């Protein structure tokens, strides 16, 4: 398999470590698209600690160079701006894309652009489950309509640093849970793009951005990044709670997100897809 990777931040680096350490057979080629100021580090680490990930590697700094390497699939893990800049041309070129920054699709014109680009290129835009479970069931019963989906995202206070939540409370002094956002999944993903990918995933799999109710909570007692949601439909009713360990390098990100992307890669290269 020839894999493209957009980004060289925490998620990308963790994913590369898993690829290097767990694949039975190295990838045929791995091409990393990153910012120019990260290129030297990326090249060095691909040749060093991540050498087991692929037989051939390359680091590029523009999307056309990435496409010139003819990847079979590309994984985006670099944020909203990277989705806007790089994902449409990759899809138009006929290459499937897995995007981690699913919250970017709360931008309705961007979502439509990506759908159009995928249709034009006869490619697939793949949305991994990320940090939340039950997406397969939600997407399945959603086909019957009549969904009611309610989501609560709780994280330790410092996981909300660098977000609008800082202006609403003193995160460092919080001693009890504080619900600081209530609204739609679209509003949540726009206001908290680095924290609300789960809300966006639930919305896209289920009732849509406007009909998915979201609460965001800062909780000093949270055991990690906690995702809870309930679903009511004509076919089934269920609730789910997931306590994810946050990434050591970025408290806003759950480690399981990386493994969700790894699963998408394994599904592409393995004899059985689950």
- Residues labelled catalytic: 227
d(CA 185, CA 56): 41
CA distance 11 to 5: 11
Distance CA 213, CA 259 (A): 27
At residue 223, φ and ψ (nearest 5 deg) are -75, -5
Decide: 42 and 108 in contact? Cβ < 8 Å.
Answer: no
Is 74 within 8 Å of 97 (Cβ atoms)?
yes
Distance, in Å, from the CA atom of 206 to the CA atom of 56, rounded to the nearest integer, reads 40
> What are 179's strand-pairing partners?
217
| Spatial separation of the C-alpha atoms in residues 228 and 166, rounded to whole Å | 23
Strand ranges for 115-202 from DSSP E: 125-126, 148-155, 178-184
């Amino acid at each position: 398999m020839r894999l493209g990777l957009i980004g060289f931040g925490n998620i990308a680096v963790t994913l590369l470590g898993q690829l290097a350490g767990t694949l039975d057979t190295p990838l045929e080629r791995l091409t990393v698209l990153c910012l120019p100021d990260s290129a030297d580090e990326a090249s060095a680490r691909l040749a060093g600690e991540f050498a087991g990930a692929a037989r051939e590697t390359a680091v590029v700094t523009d999307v056309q160079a990435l496409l010139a390497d003819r990847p079979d699939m590309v994984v985006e893990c670099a944020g909203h701006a990277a989705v806007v800049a790089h994902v449409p041309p990759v899809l138009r070129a006929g290459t499937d894309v897995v995007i981690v920054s699913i919250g970017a699709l709360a931008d309705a014109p961007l979502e439509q652009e990506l759908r159009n680009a995928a249709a034009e290129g006869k490619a697939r835009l793949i949305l991994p489950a990320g940090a939340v479970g039950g997406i397969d069931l939600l997407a399945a019963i959603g086909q019957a309509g009549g969904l009611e989906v309610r989501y609560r995202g709780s994280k330790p206070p410092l996981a909300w640093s660098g977000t609008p939540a800082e202006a609403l409370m003193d995160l460092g002094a919080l001693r009890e849970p504080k619900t600081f956002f209530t609204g739609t999944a679209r509003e949540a993903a726009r206001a908290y793009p680095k924290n609300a990918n789960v809300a966006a995933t639930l919305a896209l799999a289920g009732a849509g951005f406007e009909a998915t109710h979201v609460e965001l909570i800062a909780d000093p007692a949270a055991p990690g990044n906690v995702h809870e949601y309930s679903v009511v439909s004509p076919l089934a009713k269920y609730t789910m709670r997931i306590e994810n360990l946050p990434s050591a390098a970025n408290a806003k990100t759950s480690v399981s997100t990386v493994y969700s992307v790894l699963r998408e890669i394994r599904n592409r290269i393995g004899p059985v897809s689950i």
